Amino acid sequence: MGLNVPQFIDEAIGEIRRQVEGRAVIGLSGGVDSSVCAFLAREAIGDRLIPVYVDSGLMRQGESKKIAEMFSDFNLITVYAEDRFLSALAGVIDPEEKRKVVGETFIRVFEEEARQVGAEYLIQGTIYPDLIESEGGIKSHHNVGGLPLKMEFKGIVEPLRELYKDEVREVARGLSMPTEICERMPYPGPGLSVRILGEVTRDKLAVVRAANAIVEEELNSFLPWQAFAAILGKATGVKGDIRAYGYVVAVRAVSSRDAMTADVLELSWDVLRRISHRITGEIPEVSRVVYDLTPKPPGTIEFE
């Protein structure tokens, strides 16, 4: 049976109203989950909702500007925390530790903002697959298994915890949210940090951000579930007769219904070649581009 959207919206608004006393902070990432939560929460508690966007430095190209535009009528608080995230991530190479460091840093920033405005509740866009993957020990989604054990909040409110992504999109349409938000590709909370295998540095972030922008530009019209780039490591290449020890960038493009399983997009050779040429041509630090052929399972969608 499909989701009864109007009923879900009414019940979610009621639940938020019952759970939140006083003010609540919501972390907005620009993705459909947190955006839907923000729309529901605004209906439920009006200006007792304090929306916070944390620019972690792990965001996609142009994302901060886009989020400011998308939520221009929301009194958004923007926190610039790139240095803080990068110092917390310095030296961290284990993927699960990375997720925990990012999850904890987000929570500490939200706690500080909440303290300043006297909010005791945190609203999060956690969805069902986030819970399943974290509890099943597959990977700690930053908003579930990546959370610290001790938090200052009196309550965490998760109105979407029983929904799959396609149901969240239905709710978004039911709330008449802008199409751009309803149909956006999923993007992981730990952002570009899980698209860099090994240590996250400013230089690698710049490279992977540029590569992600090219992949999205080239593949958006294929309507993938997700299409992105990740840095796998370094390899020897040759550019203009000179040895180039550069980054290996993997391109990943998948179709999926709910992110629990995924198939690789069968792209034409022309499309793949064009992406490879653009990435090695436009990003001097990259010496090699590969296309990931692994479905989920046995792979996961993100690399870490």
Contacts to ligand XMP by CB under 6 A: 99, 130, 133, 139, 141-143, 186, 188-190, 226, 259, 296, 300-302
Residue 166 CB, nearest distance to ligand XMP (Å)? 12
**Is 35 annotated in some ligand binding site?**
yes
**Is 30 annotated in some ligand binding site?**
yes
**Is 109 annotated in some ligand binding site?**
no
| Smaller CB separation from ligand XMP, 35 or 226 | 226
| Smaller CB separation from ligand XMP, 126 or 280 | 126
Helix axes 32-45, 165-174, angle to 10 degrees: 50
- Which residues share a beta bridge with 26? 51, 123
| Smaller CB separation from ligand XMP, 42 or 141 | 141
Mapped onto helix, strand or coil, the DSSP state of residue 152 is coil
| Smaller CB separation from ligand XMP, 60 or 99 | 99
CB distance 38 to 170 below 8 Å:
no
**Is 29 annotated in some ligand binding site?**
yes
How many residues does the structure list for the chain?
Answer: 304
Per-position DSSP letters for 159-211, written without gaps between them: TTTT--HHHHHHHHHHTT--HHHHTPPP--TTGGGGGBSS---HHHHHHHHHH
Mapped onto helix, strand or coil, the DSSP state of residue 158 is coil
**Is 56 annotated in some ligand binding site?**
no
DSSP 47: G
Residue 57 CB, nearest distance to ligand XMP (Å)? 16
> How far is it, in rounded angstroms, from Cα 65 to Cα 277?
28
Residue 32 CB, nearest distance to ligand XMP (Å)? 10
Residue 293 CB, nearest distance to ligand XMP (Å)? 16
Residue 242 CB, nearest distance to ligand XMP (Å)? 36
| Smaller CB separation from ligand XMP, 77 or 185 | 185
The binding site for ATP comprises 29-35
